[in-house]
Amino acid sequence: MRKIFIKCGKFFDGLEEVLRTNVNIVVEDDIIRKVGEDVVCPEGAEVIDLSGLTVTPGLIDAHLHLDNLHYWNFDSRFKISDEMKTLNIVHNAEMALQGGFTTLRYIGSSLRTYGAIDARNAINDHVFPASRLVVSPHGMGISGGHSDNSSNLGGNFYLSEALEGQLGYIGNGVDFFKTVVRKEVKYGADFIKIMASGGFASPNDDPCDCQLDDEELRTIIDTAHRLNKTVTAHVYSAEIAKNLIRMGIDGIEHGSLIDEETCQMMIDNGVYLVCTFQPYEEAVHMDEEKLKTKSPHFQRKLRKYLDQLRASRKLVVDKILEGKMTVGYGTDMVSVYECWESWHEFNTWRKEGIPALRTLRAATSVNAGILGLADQIGSIEPGKKADISAWHRDIENDIEAISECDFVMKDGIVYRNCCK
Ligand SMILES: [Zn+2]
């Protein structure tokens, strides 16, 4: 059995919002066995000295797509194969691991196939030195909806229609969506994602459009639950979110236009929110120069909903500070920063006045719960997987502290150590 003894400088366990000192950790193979101030080095253990760093659980990003290589080349998705996209997923997951994010929740993308499942399995088999993936292969939705990438070829109707027919997760009707859910689960989906509303980046819809009818939505949720899979949905408006909560959905992604009543329903029904502040940062704080670089329809929609975006942002920040609502840390890094640069959301939460350890709790134990892995990851406790990151900058006062990672361990294996 391989034993490792880790000496921590400052220490955050992922649960209690305090930084402790003089904590030691004993790892045996891939599992944390002992944690505490009085833990001594076992005989024959390898010693890792992180006494100059702040030690945290490996961080988790709960909302990523990962199939895209560069944010400035978003349209490349029409020009590359699913095989190349799968390679991109692995590459982005390798980069994320080096940045201290040991688990990523992959929330559907433009692949027609199940490359994300293969990537997840290969990483789990240690074929690639990359972050663990928890996967929903596709965001299922309607023709012309937010996940119908063929809409972007709308000027060429023939090509658009041919592509739409190839996207197995785009369609209409109860039977279609029932089949898609079962197929996702058949090929190994960890959870199910619905593109329930329009979006800001899609050309021909509005963020408040309800794109599926009630029968279709209910079918997806019920079919997934019968197969013991949770369901989350891309949603902005309060009305659609409330409708889905009444239908028994497990989570909401974005929720950038929700209201007080929606938050209360989420608390009452144990529904989580992954709020993804960062992509709307330029709109909420109106950076005109950066906004001008966006597509005309993106700019138009952001301006239309600006007041509501700001009000909802303030509401969700208040809910995070209040601590009753389950709010996860997710970045949706697609078109603003590289897919692996998950630290940017930390910066955004900090600027909103959310304390550092509250933010990191969202990115660790709260996210582990959202992923259904609370018994395995998200905290440094005996019995958990040995996923550990460490940082040299001042976590509590430096709002970019997690942009520089010094140490990463996943499943007891060290993937980065700048202290050597
Ligand atoms: Zn997204």
Question: How much is the pLDDT for 94?
Answer: 98
- Alpha-carbon distance of 396 to 252, in angstroms, equals 29
* Structural domain that includes position 194: 59-342
The pLDDT tens digits of the residues spanning 316-355 come to 999 999 999 999 999 998 777 888 999 999 999 999 999 9
Question: How much is the pLDDT for 16?
Answer: 98
Question: How much is the pLDDT for 12?
Answer: 98
Question: How much is the pLDDT for 161?
Answer: 85
Structure tokens at 413: 């294996």
Q: Quick one: which of 408, 358, 369, 393 has its CA closest to 12?
A: 358
Asked whether residue 370 is assigned to any structural domain, the reply reads: no
Average per-residue pLDDT for the chain: 94
Asked whether residue 260 is assigned to any structural domain, the reply reads: yes
Question: What's the gap in Å between 409 CA and the centre of ligand 1?
Answer: 27
- Alpha-carbon distance of 251 to 257, in angstroms, equals 15
Q: How far is CA 191 from CA 2, 195, 292, 386, in A?
A: 34, 14, 36, 24
- Total count of domains within the chain: 2
Question: What's the gap in Å between 146 CA and the centre of ligand 1?
Answer: 10
Mean pLDDT of the region 33-60: 97
Same domain? 83 vs 218: yes
Q: 295 pLDDT band (50/70/90 cuts)?
A: confident
Burial class (CB in 10 A: 0-12, 13-18, 19+), 397: exposed
Question: What's the gap in Å between 254 CA and the centre of ligand 1?
Answer: 8
Q: What is the CATH number of the domain that holds 160?
A: 3.20.20.140
Boundary of a domain, candidates 281, 314, 342: 342
φ and ψ of 43, to 5 deg: -60, 135
Burial class (CB in 10 A: 0-12, 13-18, 19+), 60: buried
Same domain? 260 vs 390: no
Asked whether residue 357 is assigned to any structural domain, the reply reads: no
Question: What's the gap in Å between 69 CA and the centre of ligand 1?
Answer: 15
Q: 312 pLDDT band (50/70/90 cuts)?
A: very high
Same domain? 397 vs 262: no
Question: What's the gap in Å between 141 CA and the centre of ligand 1?
Answer: 13
Q: 313 pLDDT band (50/70/90 cuts)?
A: very high
Cα angle vertex 180, ends 272, 190, to 5°? 45
Asked whether residue 355 is assigned to any structural domain, the reply reads: no
Boundary of a domain, candidates 296, 320, 342: 342
Question: How much is the pLDDT for 342?
Answer: 95
Asked whether residue 348 is assigned to any structural domain, the reply reads: no
Question: What's the gap in Å between 23 CA and the centre of ligand 1?
Answer: 37
Question: What's the gap in Å between 233 CA and the centre of ligand 1?
Answer: 10
| Res. 42: pLDDT tops 80 | yes
Q: 419 pLDDT band (50/70/90 cuts)?
A: confident
The pLDDT tens digits of the residues spanning 125-171 come to 999 999 999 999 999 999 988 888 888 777 788 888 888 888 889 99
| Res. 46: pLDDT tops 90 | yes
Q: 121 pLDDT band (50/70/90 cuts)?
A: very high
Boundary of a domain, candidates 294, 326, 342: 342
CA 74 to chain centre: 19
Question: Among 6-20, 121-135, 277-291, 330-344, where is mean pLDDT lowest?
Answer: 277-291
Mean pLDDT of the region 370-396: 98
Question: How much is the pLDDT for 200?
Answer: 85
Question: What's the gap in Å between 376 CA and the centre of ligand 1?
Answer: 25
Same domain? 48 vs 136: no
Question: What's the gap in Å between 43 CA and the centre of ligand 1?
Answer: 47
Prediction pTM value: 0.96
Mean pLDDT of the region 185-198: 97
Q: 297 pLDDT band (50/70/90 cuts)?
A: confident
Question: How much is the pLDDT for 43?
Answer: 96
- Alpha-carbon distance of 5 to 11, in angstroms, equals 15
Q: What is the CATH number of the domain that holds 406?
A: 2.30.40.10
| Res. 235: pLDDT tops 90 | yes
Q: How many residues does the chain have?
A: 420
- Alpha-carbon distance of 324 to 403, in angstroms, equals 28
| Res. 277: pLDDT tops 80 | yes
The one-letter amino acid at 232: T
Question: Among 38-47, 78-87, 264-273, 362-371, where is mean pLDDT lowest?
Answer: 78-87
Same domain? 71 vs 53: no
Instruction: Specify the higher pLDDT residue, 302 or 261.
Output: 261
Mean pLDDT of the region 49-73: 93
Same domain? 302 vs 198: yes
Question: How much is the pLDDT for 75?
Answer: 72
Question: What's the gap in Å between 62 CA and the centre of ligand 1?
Answer: 10
Same domain? 120 vs 269: yes
Same domain? 66 vs 27: no
Asked whether residue 183 is assigned to any structural domain, the reply reads: yes
Asked whether residue 409 is assigned to any structural domain, the reply reads: yes
Structure tokens at 289: 């120069």
Same domain? 39 vs 68: no
Asked whether residue 113 is assigned to any structural domain, the reply reads: yes
Question: Among 145-154, 242-251, 260-269, where is mean pLDDT lowest?
Answer: 145-154
Same domain? 107 vs 201: yes
Question: How much is the pLDDT for 152?
Answer: 78
